[in-house]
Amino acid sequence: MRNESSLIRRHSLPYRTAYEVYAASVWLFASAYMAYLHAQHVMPREMSALLYIVCIVFAVKRGHEGWLILRDRSLLSGRRFELMPRSKLQTLMRPDYLWLGYGFVWEPKHTQKLHELSRINPASLMLPDFMHRFFGRGDQYQKNEEIGMPYIHGLEPNEIELHRFLKNFEGGTLILGTTQAGKGIALCNLFSQAVLRNDVVIFIDPKGSPRVYESFRRACTAAGRGEPLNYHPGNRDKTKGIRLDPLATFSTGAQIATRIMSVIPGKPDAFTQFAWSCIKTFADALIELKIKPSLKLLSKHINHGIDDLLRDLLLDRIEHFASENWREEARSFMAPIKEGRLTESQEELLLMVSFYEHVLDKKQQTLVVDECLKVFHHSKEHYAKITASLMPIFAMLTSGPLGDSFSPDPKDAADSRPIWNLESIILTRSCLYCHLDSLSDNMIASAVGSILLGDLVGVAGKRYNLGKTDIRISLFVDEASNVCNNPLIEILNKGAEGGIYTTVAMQTIADLALRLGSQDAARMVLGNCNNLIALRCKDRPTQDFVTETFGKTYIHQVDTTLSTHADTHAGLPSFEGGASHKRTAVREEIIPSEYLGKLPNGQFFAFVGGGHLLKGRVPVITD
C-alpha cells in the first residue's frame, strides 16, 4: 500500500522541511573526510577513492531531492502580476486557436496537493526572497502585498501556454469575477486577439472603463485597423464619436416592436403584449407609408395617436380605388353627427373610415390598415393608460443627447457625426465600442444596451437567412447583468449560427437573478454558456455554480492509529504497541469552492471545450 502513491508517504511530500539538504551536507562532509584520510595516508587510495565516489553520488542524489523540495516550496510563492507587450501577444497567437494565458491542465493530483496543503499553514513553507533566485524565478514570485493566495498556481512546476481550438468558443463564454479580480484584463486579452484576427468586434461596456477603452483603441491601431467607432449615449459634442441607428435593419414592424420591448426585462404580461402590438402597428404603418421608423417618430405618433398615420393610409386607398362620389357612399353608413361635436378633420377621418370599412372592396383592404383601425376603435381611456406606461420608455430613449445619437437625422447639418448601424459595421468589418455610462444613468445604459442586443439579433437573423455567415462577429458584453434580456439569451443560444461568438462578463449570479426576476431565469442564461472562466469569486451561490460546473474527483486520505499497552501480569512488566494505516477515498469537489475566493488578481480556473479544466493566469497587455 505504501508504494501506491507518493502522496500517502509523508516523507515524499514536497510541502515540508527539506531534510534531504541536511543529508546531502553530511554526505559532502563524509566525502571530504575520505579525501582527508587518504591525504593523511590513513586509508589506502583505492578504498578512499571508492568511498569518496559513493559519498559524492549520495550527496548529489540527496541534494537533487532537496533541490526539488525547495523548488516546489518556491513555487508556492506563485507568480506575480505580469506585464506583457502587445507585440508578444501576436507571437503567442496560433491560427484557429485562442490563447487564454499561462498555466496548466488541472488534474486530480493537483486537488490532492491542495487537500494536503489545507492541513498545514502554507505561509510556514514560503522561502526567503533571496532563495527564489536559485530557481530562476528572480522577481517573478508574488509579493506579500498582492491580493490572493499565491500557492494555488504553484501546485504545478511546469507552466505552459494555454491554447484552445477557436471553435470551442462558439457556444458562448462566461467570465465570472468579483470587483477588481481581473475581468477587464481577461476581456482585453480576448478582444485584442479578436481584433488581430480581423473579426468584427462589438464591445458593450455599461460602465465605460477608460482603461478598457484605451486598451481597445490601442489594439485596433496596433492591428492596423485605425481608430475604433466610439458610441456614447450622453455625448453632447456633435463632432466626436458616432451616431447609431438601432432600427435601421428590419423586415417587419414586429422586429422593431420586439427590439424596443426588449428594454423591459422579465416575463411578458398583458401590458407588454398590448404595448408590443401597439408599437408593431405604428411601425407597420410607417413602413407602409415608406417612412423609415425611428424612435423619435414612433414616440411622436404613439403619443399623438393613430389618427395621422391612419388618415395617410386611407388617403392612399381612396386615391387608388375610390369613385368620385365616395363621400356620399360612405356617409350613408354613418350615424348622424351632431354639429360642432367634431372638428372638420375628425369628421373627414370618420368618413374615410366608413368608406374603407363599408364601401371599399375587401380585396383592396390591407392588413396594416386593419390593424390601425383596431387601435382607432380601441377604448381611448384604455389606450391612454397603456401609452402612459409606454411613453416613459420612449422619453428615456429620445430625450437629451441620446435622442440625437440614437434616432439620428441625416438632414441635421449641425451634427457632423457619421451615422452607423450594426449591419454596416459588420459589412465593413469595423470595431465598435459602446460606452453606456451606467454610473451616470443606469436606466438609460440598460435600455440602450438592450436595444443594441435586440438589433444584433435582427441583423444576425437576416444574415443567417441569406446564408451570409462568412464574417466572424466577436461580441463582448461587460457587466452583462445590466443589459441582459431575451435577445442576449437568443444570441447565446443560437448566435453561433449567425457567426456571433459571444463573451459575457459579470460579478455574481445574484446580479443576473435580480435583473431577470428569478434564479431560474438566471440559470437559463448561464446554461447557454458552454465555456466558463472563473476569476476570484466571493459570493457563495456563484462559487457553488462554478464548482458544480467543474465537477468532482476522489481525494485519498490516510488515517494512522498508534496504540501502546503496558501490563504487569505475573509480576513481570510487559509492553505492547501497534500501528495501523487506513486509506480511504472520498469524492470531493475537484476545486473546493473556498479557493475561488482566494485567487490572486488575473488568475482563473477555466472550464472549456466540454470538460477541459485549466488553471491559468493572464498578463496585463501593454504597449
Q: What is the pLDDT of residues 59-77, one digit of tens each?
A: 999 999 999 888 888 888 8
Q: pLDDT band for position 570 (50/70/90)?
A: low
Residue 573 pLDDT > 70: no
What the block records as the C-alpha cell of 470 is 462568412
Q: Which of 79, 75, 77, 81 is nearest to 180 (CA)?
A: 81
Domain boundaries, the chain: 10-75, 82-166+539-623, 171-234+429-529, 253-403
| Mean pLDDT score, 486-500 | 87
Query: Residue for cell digits 573526510?
Result: 33
CA 415 to chain centre: 35
Poorest-pLDDT segment among 474-488, 531-545, 551-565: 551-565
Q: pLDDT band for position 484 (50/70/90)?
A: confident
| Mean pLDDT score, 329-353 | 79
Residue 268 pLDDT > 70: no
* Residue 580, phi then psi, degrees to nearest 5: -140, 145
Report pLDDT for 443: 86
Report pLDDT for 7: 42
CA 537 to chain centre: 14
CATH architecture of 171-234+429-529: 3-Layer(aba) Sandwich (3.40)
Report pLDDT for 394: 87
Report pLDDT for 82: 87
Q: Which of 205, 272, 263 is nearest to 450 (CA)?
A: 263
Report pLDDT for 340: 59
Cα 30 to Cα 534: distance, rounded to the nearest angstrom = 53
pLDDT digit string (tens) for 342-377?
Answer: 778 888 888 899 988 888 888 888 999 999 999 888
Report pLDDT for 6: 41
| Mean pLDDT score, 408-433 | 92
Residue % of the chain over a pLDDT of 90: 40
609 conformational bin, left if phi > 0, alpha if psi -120 to 50, beta if neither: left
| Mean pLDDT score, 279-294 | 93
Report pLDDT for 11: 40
Q: What is the DSSP letter of 111?
A: H
More confident residue, 531 or 271: 531
Cα 195 to Cα 142: distance, rounded to the nearest angstrom = 31
**Is the pTM value of this prediction over 0.75?**
yes
Poorest-pLDDT segment among 30-44, 332-346, 566-580: 566-580
Q: pLDDT band for position 469 (50/70/90)?
A: confident
Residue 276 pLDDT > 70: yes
Q: pLDDT band for position 10 (50/70/90)?
A: very low
| Mean pLDDT score, 472-479 | 93
Q: Where does residue 327 rank: exposed (0-12), middle (13-18), buried (19+ CB within 10 A)?
A: middle
Report pLDDT for 288: 93
| Mean pLDDT score, 259-263 | 86
> H or E element: which one contains 213?
helix 210-222
What the block records as the C-alpha cell of 359 is 364601401
Task: Give me the chain's average pLDDT, please.
Answer: 87
Report pLDDT for 221: 94
- Would you say the C-alpha torsion 332, 334, 338, 342 has a positive or negative sign? negative
Q: What is the CA radius of gyration of the chain?
A: 36
Residue 4 pLDDT > 60: no
Give the number of other CB atoms < 10 A from CB of residue 272. Answer: 15
List, in sequence order, every residue forming a beta bridge with 202; answer none if it has no partner. 432, 475
* Residue 233, phi then psi, degrees to nearest 5: -65, -20
Report pLDDT for 239: 83
CA 206 to chain centre: 13
